[in-house]
Chains A and B, each alone.
Chain A
Amino acid sequence: MLRIHYSLESELKGGIADIDAPQELSVQVRNLVLKTAKRKKVGHGEIIAEHPSQSGGAFHAAASGTVRDLDYHHLVITCDESGEAVDPADVASMAPGKELLRTLQGLGIDIAVLSSHAEMLVINGMNPEPGVSVAEQLLADEMKTLEAGLEMARTLIEPKQVVLAVADTKEYQLPGASMKAVKPKYPHSLDALVVKAVTGEEFPANTKVMNVMDLYALGKVVQTGKPITETVMTIDGHNYRVPIGTTIRHLLSCLDMKVSSGDTVVLGGSFRGEAVYSLDEGVRKGDYAMFVIPSDTFPRVEDVTCINCGECVLNCPARIQPNLISRYAEYEKFELAEEHGLHSCFECGLCAFSCTMRRPILQYIRFAKDQLRASGQGKQS
């Protein structure tokens, strides 16, 4: 059995390294509004899709090239030197207001958190999940960009107080922000628990939280005026700057990692990330890690009945009963799941992590949330 560390402490190994430019980019465009077409040429930073929601950021080509393939799910760009790079927008000199927000959204920033005022802004500087060290790497190496991002966030949110939450083993300072030390142990890094550690309240109103990765993206946009086309990821303990859409195959060959049939490749964190089904899948915006998990590391997930051992309840930081909620979700009784505190769950994954029967509890919880969201949308229209 592999020893699991819940610890979020990280030894930083060098700086953020670059990845060789990929030959092909694969971007997930499911449920997005396409802004390009097959066989069209796109320039570096050109918009390829918009988010259908009011606040979601747009998506951009991370390199110049031609759209080779486009279907319901994917957009594949073959990189060449043909397209023209877009001109940077002058974000830094714009006055706060609707126009600035629209510009930021057009450059790929999710403006949900930025579009209204709040009394307190919490910057979550904790490494998000075990095995990921992006947050501390950015705090250590990219302070200038973070400061630029914070400045922008400050002008838009106008908080009375800014607090930076960091692991109690590290000393990082952001100008104008007080510091709050948090024990570096998962799940203390999740937004809901960080806010609780800072304010002492659970889901308080008038408090907003941004993590360091988002702040970095915002800072980068402010500094350069160019759209977001890359993400910083932890792979095997090291941090890399990866263009969005880089295929996993390319990443693996660059880093000389081997994957064989039956292994799991995860984009995102070890606890909350998503397993991909093909090596041709591209890195998505906001992914902060990639994991390759050999097939024999953990016993397989099984969809069997719960035996009521109570491990999920005893481990739940949200004090809900995942055993009951997962059963309600299994039998499509989503309203009952809601009554039992479904929406208190912040999806840390510790329930499924510790499940003796290896039930996909987190999956059931996410399923119930999705179904409720979908049925709510159905009623409105």
Chain B
Amino acid sequence: MTPPIIKAMSDIATRLTVSPAPHWRCGRTLNSMMRAHLLALIPALVAGIYMYGLSAAATVGLAGSVAVLTEVFCLKLQKREIDVDNFTALYAGILFAFLLPATAPWWVTVVGAIITITLGRTVFGGFGCNPVCASLIGWAFCRLSWPAAMDIDLNLANFVINEPLFQLQKFGVDTLSQFNYTDLFLGKQLGGLGASQVAALTVGGGFLLIRKWIRWYIPVSFLLGVGAVATLFWAIDPGAYAPPLFHILAGSTMFGALFLATDTASSPVGKLPQFLFGLIAGAMVVIIRVYGSYPDGVPFALMLTNLLSPLLDRVRPKPFGGR
């Protein structure tokens, strides 16, 4: 039966909005979410620029703008609405830049930002559909293609301090006495230009947690995973493996916990799945740091665990009243 057309009732002077329930909403939008996330990156950005100089700002600016332009281009090709004003592309680009050494060659930054958007997001259907955190795809592509250009120690050889994870991998635990935890926490270590600013990232991530833009399940379980597995190794042989607090403070562990692992699309949705996701990813970080051939295990650990997300989401409680 074709439903009869309901004629407009007599008065059309007041045209009401008809929308589905619920009629009260929390008022959050994608735009406000991304603005909060960008705001949360600012402390680390400032700390990065303070430490590495204007080249850090240049890298972030370049990656961000290239990511936005690539997104515009991709949306044009797909004949979709150009919605880069929701800041998601900018955010992905900046996350990618945060993983780079501050003096990374400009062409690596550009290629990486393009890969972040195209391979990371567009091929899967755009923002929100990516199975793996987009910025990590860009990072991994560059890391495997141009190892020298992406190498932290090589790029930043003019600094007196060293990259802690590189020291650990190449020269063993004994060399770690050159770092103290306060310095590591305050970001006095070589690493990705924003990714190693532990204190500043904690401030930004704390802001997101307090405003409930991200939930605590993933960050906390991620750090728990790192801590637990690191403790395990350390307990086996303190002379061969680094202490757990070192693993938490060195490299991009905090960045991964607060910003990369909590990427909406590539992380699970449920409470328990998110917790398991964090634990597995955290455990993988230390395993890769101990056995892997790359100093920092965070990006690869997260990419691998991202692929487990759909599987983890099958761990779900019985529905209300379910059998």
Question: For the complex, is A224 an interface residue (Cβ under 8 Å from B)?
Answer: no
Mask: chain A, 244-280; 1 = CB below 8 Å from B; 0 = not: 0000010000000001111111100011111111111
Question: For the complex, is B79 an interface residue (Cβ under 8 Å from A)?
Answer: no
Task: Assess whether B319 is in contact with A356, with CB atoms less than 8 Å apart.
Answer: no
Residues of chain A with a CB closer than 8 A to B178's CB: none
Question: For the complex, is B311 an interface residue (Cβ under 8 Å from A)?
Answer: no
Number of A-B contacts (CB under 8 A): 179
State the CA gap A103–B24 with chains docked (Å): 39
Task: Assess whether A305 is in contact with B128, with CB atoms less than 8 Å apart.
Answer: yes
Contacting chain B: which of A89-97, A105-113, A315-323? A315-323
Q: Given that A261-B14, A319-B319 are known contacts, is A353 also in contact with B8, CB under 8 Å in the complex?
A: no
Task: Assess whether A301 is in contact with B19, with CB atoms less than 8 Å apart.
Answer: yes
Question: For the complex, is B125 an interface residue (Cβ under 8 Å from A)?
Answer: yes
Task: Assess whether A276 is in contact with B18, with CB atoms less than 8 Å apart.
Answer: yes
Residue of A nearest to B316 (CB): A321
State the CA gap A369–B19 with chains docked (Å): 19
Q: Given that A279-B16, A305-B129, A306-B128 are known contacts, is A346 also in contact with B320, CB under 8 Å in the complex?
A: yes
Most chain A beta carbons < 10 A, residue from B15, B215, B270, B321: B321
- Chain A: interface residue total (CB-CB under 8 A): 70
Range for the number of chain B residues in contact with chain A:
35 or more
State the CA gap A72–B22 with chains docked (Å): 27
Question: For the complex, is B177 an interface residue (Cβ under 8 Å from A)?
Answer: no
Residue of A nearest to B12 (CB): A278
Question: For the complex, is B252 an interface residue (Cβ under 8 Å from A)?
Answer: no
**Cβ contacts A to B, 23 pairs, < 8 Å:** A202-B320, A264-B18, A265-B16, A266-B23, A273-B23, A275-B16, A279-B14, A280-B9, A293-B24, A298-B24, A305-B128, A308-B265, A308-B266, A308-B267, A308-B269, A317-B320, A319-B317, A320-B319, A323-B269, A344-B321, A349-B21, A355-B25, A357-B30
Q: Which residues of B contact A (CB under 8 A)?
A: 4, 6-11, 13-30, 33, 125-129, 215, 264-271, 274, 313, 316-322
Q: Beyond A72-B4, A274-B21: 13 further Cβ-contacts under 8 Å?
A: A2-B24, A4-B24, A266-B21, A278-B11, A280-B9, A280-B11, A306-B128, A307-B265, A310-B215, A314-B269, A321-B313, A353-B26, A360-B19
